[in-house]
Amino acid sequence: MDCTHNCSHESSCLVSVPVFKGLNENDREALQRVTRSRTFLKGEFIFHEGEQSETLFVVNEGLIKLTKMSAEGKEQIVRLLFPGDFFGLFSLLKNEKHYVNAEAVGNTVICYLEKKDFLKIMESNADLSYRFLLAMNDRLYEADESVSLLSLMDVEQRLARTLVLFHDKMNAGDSTFTLPITKKDLASYIGTTPESISRKLLAFMSQGMIEMDGRRTIHFLKLAELKQLAGLD
């Protein structure tokens, strides 16, 4: 479902994305005029690996998973994108094909800007251009962190780190949140098996660090200990 610039999603996109915060009223209005939105249902693809587009995408509501497929047909989750995250910039700026698939995990609202509109605003706003450079620097840092996550930490540490990430991204102020992805996807994300995820969650429960209500609702009992285990203290 597409939406014109009169919809409320566009204005909320500009509020939710850190790189757009602090824009003056004129810049914000100019950006809002060229921003569009679309709702994707669970399992729908925003784009596939190998496709080309000249669009900057922003997650407004919901969750996106970026994935690659192995030669054997096994899916590997490369990154999860939460509200406020943007993607597609590599293809947009380099005029190259997307190197991952982008799939909606649940019903998701995506805002997007076309290349010509995006570059026009960037060229006229040095501060915004600088903020995008900083955001790309953060993206590279996160990529390095992801590599170290898989290569240097054991499964227990990787799971603890990911649970803390989900907690922070979902603004769980009361220490309770629902896993945004299935155990199968969680296993793909941290490089293990669903059975190992289940065993480690049971271990966290037996150690009194978490409680679980059902299959996916988690309540942190000892957040400081989880952060210490994850190397985040």
Q: Which residue has the higher pLDDT, 147 or 137?
A: 137
Is residue 116 very low, low, confident or very high in pLDDT (cuts 50, 70, 90)? confident
Q: What pTM was computed for the model?
A: 0.82
pLDDT (tens digit, 9 = 90+) per residue, 20-39?
776 777 777 888 888 899 99
Domains and CATH numbers, the chain: 18-150 (2.60.120.10), 153-230 (1.10.10.10)
| Structure tokens given for 103 | 């799939």
Q: Which of 180, 44, 31 is nearest to 114 (CA)?
A: 31
For residue 11, pLDDT beyond 80: no
The Cα 65–Cα 87 span in angstroms is 11
Q: pLDDT grade, residue 81 (50/70/90)?
A: very high
What's the pLDDT tens digit per position in 65-77?
Answer: 999 988 788 888 9
| Interatomic CA distance for residues 61 and 105, integer angstroms | 11
